[in-house]
Amino acid sequence: MVLNYKEIDFKAGIEIHQQLDTSKLFCSCNSILTEKIDAKIKRELRATASELGEKDLVAKFEMGKSRYAVYEYSKDSNCLVELDEEPIHNINPKALEIALIVSKLLNCKIVDAIQVMRKQVLDYSNTSGFQRTMIISFNGYIETSKGKVSIQTVCLEEDAARKIKEENDYIVYRLDRLGIPLIEIATGPDIKDPEHAKETAEKLGMILRSVNGIKRGLGTIRQDVNVSIKGHPRIEIKGFQDLRSIPKIAEYEVNRQLKIIEIHNKLKNIKNYNSEFLELTNVFTNTGCKLIKNVLESRGKVFGTKLTGLKGILGIKFAENKRFGTELSYYAKMNGVGGIIHSDEDLSKYNFNENEINEIKSKLNIKDSDAFVIVAAEENKAKKAILSVIARAIKQYTGAFPQEVRKAEEDITTSFLRPMPGAARMYVETDLPLILITKERLNKIKLPELISNKIENLEEIYNLQPELAREIIKKEIDFEHFISQYRNIDANTIARILIEIPKEIKSRLNLDSSKLLETDFHNILQLLDENKIPKNSVIDILSDIIRFGKVDLNKYKLVSEKELELEIKKIIDSNKSASFSALMGEAMKKFKGKADPKKVSELINKYV
Q: In sequence order, what DSSP letters do the residues of 493-554 get, joined into one string?
A: HHHHHHHHHHHHHHHHH---GGG--HHHHHHHHHHHHTT-S-GGGHHHHHHHHHHHSS--GG
Q: What confidence score (pLDDT) does residue 557 get?
A: 74
Q: Among residues 527, 555, 583, which one ends one of the domains?
A: 555
Q: What confidence score (pLDDT) does residue 534 get?
A: 82
Q: Are 236 and 404 in contact (CB under 8 A)?
A: yes
Confidence check: pLDDT of 564 > 80: no
For 493, the 3-state DSSP assignment is helix
In this structure, the answer to whether residues 70 and 36 fall within a common structural domain is yes
Confidence check: pLDDT of 477 > 70: yes
Contact residues for 541 (Cβ-Cβ < 8 A; gap 6+): 524, 533, 551, 553, 556
In this structure, the answer to whether residues 570 and 546 fall within a common structural domain is no
Q: Are 14 and 200 in contact (CB under 8 A)?
A: yes
In this structure, the answer to whether residues 155 and 35 fall within a common structural domain is yes
How far is it, in rounded angstroms, from Cα 200 to Cα 191?
8
Q: What is the mean pLDDT of residues 426-440?
A: 93
How far is it, in rounded angstroms, from Cα 205 to Cα 218?
13
* pLDDT, greater one: 327 or 534: 327
Q: What confidence score (pLDDT) does residue 45 get?
A: 73
Q: Among residues 513, 539, 555, which one ends one of the domains?
A: 555
For 585, the 3-state DSSP assignment is helix
Confirm whether 267 is domain-assigned: no
Q: What confidence score (pLDDT) does residue 568 get?
A: 77
**Helix or strand holding residue 165 (H, E):** strand 162-166
In this structure, the answer to whether residues 126 and 62 fall within a common structural domain is yes
Q: Are 471 and 458 in contact (CB under 8 A)?
A: no
- What CATH code is carried by the domain that includes residue 353? 3.30.1360.30
Instruction: Say how many C-beta atoms besides its own lie within 10 A of residue 514's C-beta.
Output: 9
Share of the chain above pLDDT 70, in %: 93
- Total domains in the fold of the chain: 4
Q: What confidence score (pLDDT) does residue 571 get?
A: 78
In this structure, the answer to whether residues 64 and 181 fall within a common structural domain is yes
Q: Which of 130-139, 273-282, 463-472, 534-543 has the lowest mean pLDDT?
A: 534-543
Q: Which of 45-59, 64-78, 431-445, 566-580 has the lowest mean pLDDT?
A: 45-59
Strand partners, 322: 319
Could you tell me the pLDDT band of residue 65, with boundaries at 50, 70 and 90? low
Q: What is the mean pLDDT of residues 362-382?
A: 97
Least Cα distance to 373 among 355, 358, 357, 386 occurs for 386
Average predicted confidence (pLDDT) for the chain: 91
Q: What confidence score (pLDDT) does residue 597 get?
A: 73
What does the pLDDT look like over 113-143, one tens digit per residue? Answer: 999 999 888 789 999 989 999 999 999 999 9
For 17, the 3-state DSSP assignment is strand
Q: Are 58 and 120 in contact (CB under 8 A)?
A: yes
Confidence check: pLDDT of 350 > 60: yes
Q: Are 504 and 539 in contact (CB under 8 A)?
A: yes
Q: What confidence score (pLDDT) does residue 34 get?
A: 94
Q: How far is residue 543 CA from its own chain's centroid?
A: 35
Q: Are 331 and 307 in contact (CB under 8 A)?
A: no
In this structure, the answer to whether residues 136 and 200 fall within a common structural domain is yes
Number of H helices, E strands in the chain: 18, 23
Q: What confidence score (pLDDT) does residue 582 get?
A: 72
Confirm whether 64 is domain-assigned: yes
Contact residues for 294 (Cβ-Cβ < 8 A; gap 6+): none
For 595, the 3-state DSSP assignment is coil
What does the pLDDT look like over 256-275, one tens digit per residue? Answer: 999 999 999 999 999 999 99
Between the CA atoms of 466, 468, 472 and 478, what dihedral angle is there, to the nearest 10 degrees? Answer: -100
In this structure, the answer to whether residues 340 and 385 fall within a common structural domain is yes
Alpha helices, DSSP H, located in 365-448:
379-398, 439-443
Confidence check: pLDDT of 171 > 70: yes
What does the pLDDT look like over 295-327, one tens digit per residue? Answer: 999 999 999 999 999 999 999 999 988 999 999
Q: What confidence score (pLDDT) does residue 318 get?
A: 95
Q: Are 528 and 486 in contact (CB under 8 A)?
A: yes
Confirm whether 415 is domain-assigned: no
How far is it, in rounded angstroms, from Cα 220 to Cα 222?
7
Contact residues for 282 (Cβ-Cβ < 8 A; gap 6+): none
Give the structural domain span for 569: 561-607
Confidence check: pLDDT of 422 > 60: yes
Confirm whether 436 is domain-assigned: no
Q: What is the mean pLDDT of residues 77-103?
A: 97
Strand partners, 596: none
Give the number of C-alpha atoms closer than 13 A to the C-alpha of residue 602, restricted to the C-beta side: 8
Residues constituting the chain: 608
What does the pLDDT look like over 2-14, one tens digit per residue? Answer: 899 999 999 999 9
For 203, the 3-state DSSP assignment is helix
Q: What confidence score (pLDDT) does residue 178 get?
A: 97
How far is it, in rounded angstroms, from Cα 154 to Cα 111?
10
Q: Are 201 and 243 in contact (CB under 8 A)?
A: yes
Confirm whether 434 is domain-assigned: no
Strand partners, 135: 155
Confidence check: pLDDT of 50 > 70: no
Confirm whether 299 is domain-assigned: yes
Confirm whether 203 is domain-assigned: yes
How far is it, in rounded angstroms, from Cα 18 to Cα 318?
32
Q: Are 282 and 365 in contact (CB under 8 A)?
A: no
Give the number of C-alpha atoms closer than 13 A to the C-alpha of residue 575, restricted to the C-beta side: 19
In this structure, the answer to whether residues 546 and 566 fall within a common structural domain is no
Strand partners, 187: 151
Confirm whether 257 is domain-assigned: no
Share of the chain above pLDDT 90, in %: 78
In this structure, the answer to whether residues 154 and 283 fall within a common structural domain is no
Q: What confidence score (pLDDT) does residue 299 get?
A: 95
In this structure, the answer to whether residues 85 and 222 fall within a common structural domain is yes
Q: What confidence score (pLDDT) does residue 57 get?
A: 57
> Distances in Å between the alpha carbon of 42 and those of 83, 120, 415?
11, 19, 29
Q: What is the pTM of this model?
A: 0.83
> Distances in Å between the alpha carbon of 20 and those of 104, 336, 362, 412?
17, 35, 61, 29
In this structure, the answer to whether residues 221 and 284 fall within a common structural domain is no
In this structure, the answer to whether residues 126 and 231 fall within a common structural domain is yes
Q: What confidence score (pLDDT) does residue 583 get?
A: 75
How far is it, in rounded angstroms, from Cα 323 to Cα 263?
12
How far is it, in rounded angstroms, from Cα 320 to Cα 317?
7
